[in-house]
Amino acid sequence: MKPTLKLLAPLALVAFASCISNNWGHRAQSTNPDTRLADLMADYQHAKSHHDQGDGTDHILVDAERYKNEIERLSVEFPRHVPTLFANAALAYDHAEFAKCQSYCDRLFSIQPVHADAAVLRSQVAIREGDLPFAKRMLETQKNYTPDHARLREALSATLYLMKDYEGAGRELDAAERLGAAAWRVAYNRGLIAEGKGDAAGAMAAYEAALAAKADFAPAQARLAGRKAEGGVQ
């Protein structure tokens, strides 16, 4: 379910960023790691969003990289600060630095064994390495502690899908939906599961539901068009 994994990848970073300050700019240095991390993440998000929107110059991208480096240095200064370790893991994944992401996750788990968002990231690194059993074990273990975590359930659904356990994938996706997962993402992933089961009509209905919830979602548009073309549907 590579499309699913691409969707899951930024979720932990977005969720983390939504919990911190929206202010940005120059700030006085603080000895509080929570305050410093919040400030740096806000600065990073601001710089990166402007670059991603195409309205920035090279210096904005440099600023984003500088803030990322400062967040890494914060983990050296506060090596047991779990939020900083998680922020670095999420940023590493966002920058396709998968070995670094794994290292930060492993350090985090040595301090705080229960951390659902970090488990999502670590499982995706394992999937990229082809270690589906490890990803499944990690997610199921974390689910025992945080069964109400929607993103964890989505990640487990994706893992089960890749293992061709379509029934299990569907059950976890249903649970994720009840726990508040985005309707468009759930519908799209239902379409992928339906395709895996050979249910073309069910897949098309799911992709249509995804587009009803998020009309500009290109992967659903592409897969729906492909299924219609294969079936001769206009």
pLDDT of 196: 95
Task: Write the CA distances from 137 to 17, 155, 210, integer angstroms.
Answer: 27, 12, 29
pLDDT by residue (tens digit) across 52-73? 555 555 555 567 889 999 999 9
**Is residue 218 over pLDDT 50?**
yes
Rounded to the nearest 10 degrees, the angle between the axes of helix 183-196 and helix 218-231 is 30
Helices (H) and strands (E) in the chain, counts: 13, 0
SS3 state of residue 181: coil
What kind of fold does domain 2-181 have according to CATH?
Answer: 1.25.40
**What is the phi/psi pair of residue 138, to 5°?**
-60, -45
Is a pLDDT exceeding 80 seen at residue 154?
A: yes
What residue type is assigned to position 42 of the chain? A
Total Cβ atoms within 10 A of residue 99: 9
Give one DSSP letter per residue of 207-233, joined into a string. Answer: HHHHHHH-TT-HHHHHHHHHHHHHHT-
CA gap 56, 50 in Å, rounded: 6
pTM of the complete model: 0.82
CA triple 62-44-81, angle to 5 deg: 120
Q: Where in the chain is the domain with CATH 1.25.40.10?
A: 2-181
Could you give the CA distance from residue 74 to residue 85 in angstroms, rounded to a whole number? 9
Name residue 174's amino acid: D
Residue 66 is which amino acid?
R
pLDDT-wise least confident of 40-49, 168-177, 212-221: 40-49
Lowest mean pLDDT among 16-20, 56-60, 216-220: 16-20
* pLDDT value for 17: 40
| Helical (H) or strand (E) element with 135 | helix 132-145
